[in-house]
Structure 1
């Protein structure tokens, strides 16, 4: 155990907790690993055993947030009922989580956006998870006859492209003070109707 009396796992959790507090209080630009070490009562070098640099800590925080989002959206995707309604609600939940983060935790959202721009592996995994969840919803609708789409994969691609302004980090940031939920519902509904009509 380190001299703090914390186990290795506890030290990691405490490091993440302190990092979030410091970033929220002072901003991302002023965040330093040495400040985390001071708060923990350990040397700067001691943190290297767990995090090679401050980016690694920030990435861990972003990865956990994405994992929580993935789990929440899985619950939406697995909700029983009409697939069309589930798809709309899935997009609404996705949009809300992004918008709530950028409004309530702007500095940590900024850190997340940096990870997106860098194509970090955990971001790519999240995007694949989102694709797979949406694909399962579209396939469910096709199997029940509720959605008449020529290609579930093509439908997923069209839906994600059409709704980009509601879930891409930079675009969510740009529209963070607007209530765009009704517009999102309309966009998803129009795309689903158009895909069936163009079969």
Structure 2
């Protein structure tokens, strides 16, 4: 946490907003509450954030951005498409479950805030589909996958695996049979994509 006399920046405001949400819940994610936590006037915060709605959207956007970084790295690295596709979904599952376990208060609040941040969530889903499609397309090009529409296939992979990473299913993630179900779903996806058995 930066010192109290550090310059007021959007990042500092968002870090404070996350802390307020973590401690008091999403209802306290207001400009006034965040200003109070920072020890500044709400006018000072309004120089960086236009409204409570924008503040909440920025918090959701910050959460999403932290989720996306490792996924983009997987897409950018070389390697066989079937392996990278599995690494991508494994990483998506791992980051969501880790955040649900390690920061459960913010994870629960994020689910509530995301319901109102529809454009940010839609952009997040679009990027996930785009990244998955990039890997599928690489597999189509090198013959690892049969000829499919990469975007449609990317969307199908995301939807088919949603039980394992979508926050709405978080209460199911402790089920010991879930990993076996994931492997079964994955085998069907690979058969659908025409991936050669290893």
Shared fold by TM > 0.5? yes
| Offset of residue 41 of structure 1 | 2.5
* Aligned counterpart, 1:77: 75
Distance in 2 (alpha carbons) for counterparts of 1:167 and 1:52: 32
Distance 1:152 1:34, change over 3 A: closer
Distance 2:186 2:141 in 1: 19
1:108-167 Cα shifts (integer Å, max 9, x gaps): 223332343335322222111111110011111111111124433332232122112122
Partner of 2:86: 88
Deviation at 1:66, TM superposition (A): 1.3
Pair 1:186–1:54, CA change in 2 (3 A): same
Q: Write out per-residue CA displacement over residues 17-43 of structure 1, whole angstroms, 9 at most, x where no aligned residue.
A: 222222222333455543322232322
Aligned position for 1:192:
190
Q: Is 2:174 the partner of 1:174? A: no
CA contact (8 A) 1:20 1:108 kept: yes
TM-score, normalization by structure 2: 0.81
Q: Distance in 2 between matches of 1:105 and 1:41?
A: 24
CA distance, structure 2, for counterparts of residue 140 and residue 42 of structure 1: 51
User: How far apart, in 2, do the equivalents of 1:118 and 1:27 lie?
Assistant: 15
- Aligned 8 A contact 2:81 2:136 in 1: yes
RMSD over aligned Cα, in angstroms? 2.5
Runs (5+) with no aligned partner, structure 1: none
* Partner of residue 38 from structure 1, selected from 36, 39, 43: 36
- How far residue 94 of structure 1 moved from its aligned partner, in angstroms, is 0.7
* Secondary structure class of the residue paired with 2:9: helix
The equivalent position to 2:45 in structure 1, one of 39, 44, 47, is: 47
The structure 2 residue matched to 1:122, chosen from 110, 114, 120, is: 120
Displacement after TM superposition at 1:45 (Å)? 3.4
- Contact kept, 8 Å, 2:60 with 2:110, in 1: the verdict is yes
Task: Provide the secondary structure at the position in 2 that maps to 1:42.
Answer: coil
Whole-angstrom distance in 2 between the partners of 1:187 and 1:85: 15
